[in-house]
Structure 1
């Protein structure tokens, strides 16, 4: 007798449902969210378990690895796709969600999601931390500008390293703002110090990686873009076609086709947001700052003339994802053209 298990995972507790080959519920319950506790709960059915299914989430990679180490065949499924099946139920409860996942496991109507390696997740955590700190620094700067603007004081365009001195200069005209702005500037200074520290760590990681060095031969691609792409894809062999990477990262247009209607919309944005952001920044750098000619830049500039900067950057970001994947798979570097043309 085969059994199929669905896990509805929350921070403290995990609801478990076990169904048999005919879809009948064999056992339902809950336990503490940990691989050991879950393994103990399903121990009576250990020899007949066909697959264990759980949704993508903050703890999914950890649980999948822990359960697999305990010889439980565990698959992570895309939460967005699972939601479509689970939404058919009248009542939304954790127990019902666990049963729904168990039925998905039994029917095979799911798409497994690859769990990233632990080493990759460590690097990824540093990239995410840096990204958050950048956002916080920007928020503080915008708040400072807004406060000063309320008193008729304009910060204007100023270099990042001269921002603090510019604020002190403006505060002299309105001393009452000194205490509030000093607090914000102190927080900004601390955040920038941590950003610089993470930049150093990430640059060291990139310099030690031959793959990163190959990625950085592509114009516009720097250490952060290279590391972000590596930690997002993790295993390039899972993509049969390099062109599929753009769709995976949400850089391809949505499509709606029904009968005589066939429409293409904006990009899906279903993939990894950080990777999409970094590829877009790399595309912007290639179009705006890279002076050396290449067939890639010439291709992008044609789109700029035809469709504008924004669409060209999105198209170029998608093209960069294809090129980086191909470099990864072939073990090659970016080929610069010897032809000098004014693009």
Structure 2
């Protein structure tokens, strides 16, 4: 057992793979039982690089490692490395599942798209707010895009800020174009993925939700029970129990926030826009009548995640039963 070789980074060394090999050879890692690596920004790259060399690498949960390392009097890199080695030796750690590089590639596209969409909304709101200062309120008209409406407003009522608005409009158009490019790449990926197409047969589940779920889970075998997926994505309530106190709180919101947001949108779509009746929709509407639509959407989102994992793990297809309930066959 050796300390984690986290000293080799792209910023400090020109050839990281060679430096990692030298560090591994220096510590005689081929004879190691386990190699501890704390989760962090470079942990994915380090884990895959060391795994490729056939080393018994283990990625530790940073929160667990921090709780143990905080007991040290002096914090130094050497002490931290020694502490990680002791954690691995004692077995007091929770291993983090490192996703494949292919999943990280698709996840980076989803993250970039979400960021671009947020920027597009911010720019459009900036344009609308700027035009309102001069009494121009943009209203939707059938057949006319946002760019056309802004261009017409600049040529008539908002001539004073036309240069500023056109600069923002150019940014808006560029963001819109790049979002379309990412949408094409994601659609191409979904078309070639059997699992993605299977998950999209679930009512309310669209392309982005299916892809985000697949890349977040990465491997369905990681979960022995499909019901565990809801907790992994932060869709189950927190619980606090101590003595006579025992109460449930709001959902934990652990895991990937983007996947959770997509599942919430999919659940809302099922409850409000999908016309075909199903047992899942009926169950959600009963919760909505009792506790409100927001809680119902969260509950349906959790159940959707469970259904998606079950279909993925079993390889079965989703179908509607003639009685209005959901079955897998």
**Per the alignment, do residues 13 and 167 of structure 1 end up closer, same or farther by CA in structure 2, a change over 3 Å counting?**
closer
Q: Provide the residue aligned with 2:95 in structure 1.
A: 112
Range that drifts further, 275-284 or 35-44:
35-44
For residue 189 of structure 1, report the CA deviation from its aligned partner. Answer: 0.7
Matched, 1:310 2:289: no
For residue 239 of structure 1, report the CA deviation from its aligned partner. Answer: 0.5
Q: Provide the residue aligned with 2:308 in structure 1.
A: 324
Contact 1:6 1:100 in 2 (8 A): no
What is the aligned counterpart of 1:215 among 175, 199, 208? Answer: 199
Distance 1:286 1:278 in 2: 12
Q: Which runs of 5+ in 1 are unaligned?
A: 15-30
Distance 1:142 1:54 in 2: 44
Distance 1:159 1:224 in 2: 27
Q: Provide the residue aligned with 2:260 in structure 1.
A: 276
Contact 2:5 2:23 in 1 (8 A): no
Distance 1:244 1:160 in 2: 46
**Per the alignment, do residues 262 and 181 of structure 1 end up closer, same or farther by CA in structure 2, a change over 3 Å counting?**
same
Q: Provide the residue aligned with 1:337 in structure 2.
A: 321
TM-score normalised by L of structure 1? 0.86
Q: Provide the residue aligned with 2:127 in structure 1.
A: 144
Contact 1:242 1:326 in 2 (8 A): yes
Matches within 5 A, 1:185-224: 185-224=169-208
Distance 1:106 1:261 in 2: 36
Deviations 1:84-124 (A, max 9, x none): 22233344444443333222122111111122122222222
For residue 317 of structure 1, report the CA deviation from its aligned partner. Answer: 0.8
Distance 1:199 1:299 in 2: 33
Distance 2:60 2:250 in 1: 25
Distance 1:91 1:308 in 2: 51
**Per the alignment, do residues 144 and 87 of structure 1 end up closer, same or farther by CA in structure 2, a change over 3 Å counting?**
farther
Matched, 1:132 2:130: no
What is the aligned counterpart of 2:4 among 6, 31, 35? Answer: 6
Matched, 1:267 2:239: no
For residue 158 of structure 1, report the CA deviation from its aligned partner. Answer: 7.1
Matches within 5 A, 1:17-96: 34-44=16-26, 45-96=28-79
Distance 1:304 1:185 in 2: 41
Distance 1:160 1:301 in 2: 36
Distance 1:103 1:151 in 2: 66
**Per the alignment, do residues 156 and 92 of structure 1 end up closer, same or farther by CA in structure 2, a change over 3 Å counting?**
farther
Matched, 1:246 2:230: yes
Contact 1:13 1:33 in 2 (8 A): no
Distance 1:176 1:188 in 2: 20
Matches within 5 A, 1:169-184: 169-171=152-154, 172-184=156-168
For residue 274 of structure 1, report the CA deviation from its aligned partner. Answer: 1.6
For residue 301 of structure 1, report the CA deviation from its aligned partner. Answer: 0.9
Q: Secondary structure at the match of 2:151?
A: helix
Which contiguous aligned blocks of 4+ residues in structure 1 show a shift greater than 6 angstroms? 157-161
**Per the alignment, do residues 329 and 144 of structure 1 end up closer, same or farther by CA in structure 2, a change over 3 Å counting?**
same
Q: Secondary structure at the match of 2:226?
A: coil
Q: Provide the residue aligned with 1:17 in structure 2.
A: none
Q: RMSD of the TM alignment (CA)?
A: 2.5
**Per the alignment, do residues 257 and 9 of structure 1 end up closer, same or farther by CA in structure 2, a change over 3 Å counting?**
farther
Contact 2:69 2:80 in 1 (8 A): yes
